[in-house]
Chains A and B, each alone.
Chain A
Amino acid sequence: MTGPGQSGGRKAAILTGAGRGIGKGIATTLAERGYDLVITSRTREDLEVTGRLVEQSGGSAAIVVADLKDPDTPSLLLETALERHGRLDGLVNNAAVNVFAPFWTQSESTLDETIATNLTAPYFLCQAAANYWVQNSRGGAIVNISSAEDTIAYPEQVPYACSKGGLLSLTKVLALEWGPLGIRVNAVSPGSVDTEMTPDVYRQEAPKLMPIGRLGRPEDIGACVFFLLSDDAAFVTGTALYADGGYMLQ
């Protein structure tokens, strides 16, 4: 294997929300399977941990501490990919926020913040990546991390549900529009995944709650993302891959 940033078969992708949880699992999976990454979140300490995991997995990680709500962030991430890795092959929109409260007590600022991070930021990152690919006469692949909640309802997280319903429809419209440009856009919709944010009770209840008998692992989601980014998924666009251990079948 050639060194980081060289063109010896490695690809490059931007990954948001890379500091924790599912994002960390996606980062290591992609690095193991040949991707160099631009990883971003709001917290440098978290990103440095993920960066070390990426390097242990054979990849190179460019760390960008950024607020996705800042309109300048998409171009910053794109420029970083080109400077550090010399190319961009994939984009993974993983970052998301979720504020729990009864619907009738949710503030419009919570809705604003949730839509800005979970839906508006992914769209303008998609737009920046797509423009780069079009200008360079090449295709690309985008994976948006949605949620089982893009389809089924959970209590006390209306803004999050709205953002994921929107992200699913966004995925479809971009796939339709950009199919002729060689840009594929898909979603992975995880169910309950075991991360540092997961309450213990979920782990205890998992054998009962999940047909597969366990919670998801961040690497489970990473494997789905890798597949949708890869040429194995060359005919797959505008779809959502539900990685939920069968939860939605119940």
Chain B
Amino acid sequence: MSGKLSGKNAIVTGVASGIGRATAIRLAADGANLFCVDRDEEGLAGVVGALGEGHVGFPADLSLASSCQEVVAAALAHWDNRIHILVNAAAILIREPTLSHSRAAWDLTFDVNLKAPFILSRDVVASMIEAGIQGAIVNVASIEAVLPGRGHVAYTASKGAITMLTRSVGFETAPYGIRVNAVSPGVIATGMNADLREDPESWSEMLAGTPMGRHGEPEEIAAVIAFLASDDPTFVTGAIVTADGGWTLH
């Protein structure tokens, strides 16, 4: 298959559902070779099977630092030390009230939403520098980093943290030609909000104030990720690209 990402080796996390799944499908369609990661083995196998030949599924629990290191080591072994793209899409959202939010939920949120991207980025960057690859890392932040969601305290803080992970890693890797950017999605229909969408009336009420008047689809975020991962935005690094249907404009 040929395309904009032809010949590129890409790790994508959180592939079993939502934005991660849409991203894997899009990057594969654009020609990339994929190393797909998720803790949901069955969901992962389903997506990887649908991608066709030449793609790898690697089940891993990214809340464990050792698993994150194994992901990069396995991808490097599979591709002869050449990784061109890393997309950190895996994330969890645990809703607990701010006055009684537990340490366990806080810590798990940061392990998955910040520490995993940190370790994966660190090890991928090290490999890119060693191999002289001018690669791209794309993180998935959230508009909640700037426009917080009620009951989402740990998630919101973790997304603020990944925003600065993007900018500070981008700053340090710029001299090596490695670009680090993030997409900051607004309300996207994924598993994270499946329960909220069961009440179509309040869901559409919530979205009525959005300039575009609708939620986004995972494929619309995957399209932004595919652009940031490609060689088109050669002068773009440390950018936080908001894709929210205009939500944060008012």
Contacts and interface: CB of A to CB of B under 8 A. Distances in A.
B172 A158 contact: yes
B118 A162 contact: yes
A164 B145 CA distance: 12
Nearest to A124: B103
Contacts of A151: 164, 167
Contacts, number: 139
Interface residues of B, number: 47
Nearest to A135: B99
A108 B119 contact: yes
Nearest to B164: A165
B32 to A, nearest CB: 23
Given A157-B168, A161-B164, A162-B164, A167 B115 contact: no
Nearest to A181: B99
- Interface residues of A: mostly helix, strand, loop or mixed? helix
Contacts of B121: 103
A170 B114 contact: no
A165 B126 contact: no
A11 interface: no
B173 A103 contact: yes
- Interface residues of B: mostly helix, strand, loop or mixed? helix
B125 interface: yes
Contact of B99 (A131, A159, A162): A131
A115 B154 CA distance: 12
Contacts of B100: 127
Interface in A101-132: 102-104, 106, 108, 111-112, 115, 119-120, 123-124, 127, 130-131
Given A108-B118, A127-B98, A165-B167, 15 more contacts: A103-B172, A103-B173, A104-B123, A130-B98, A149-B164, A149-B168, A155-B171, A158-B169, A162-B165, A166-B114, A167-B160, A170-B153, A170-B157, A172-B146, A177-B150
Interface of A: 71, 102-104, 106, 108, 111-112, 115, 119-120, 123-124, 127, 130-131, 134, 149-159, 161-170, 172-174, 176-178
10 contacts: A71-B103, A103-B168, A119-B157, A130-B98, A158-B169, A165-B162, A165-B163, A166-B157, A169-B160, A173-B149
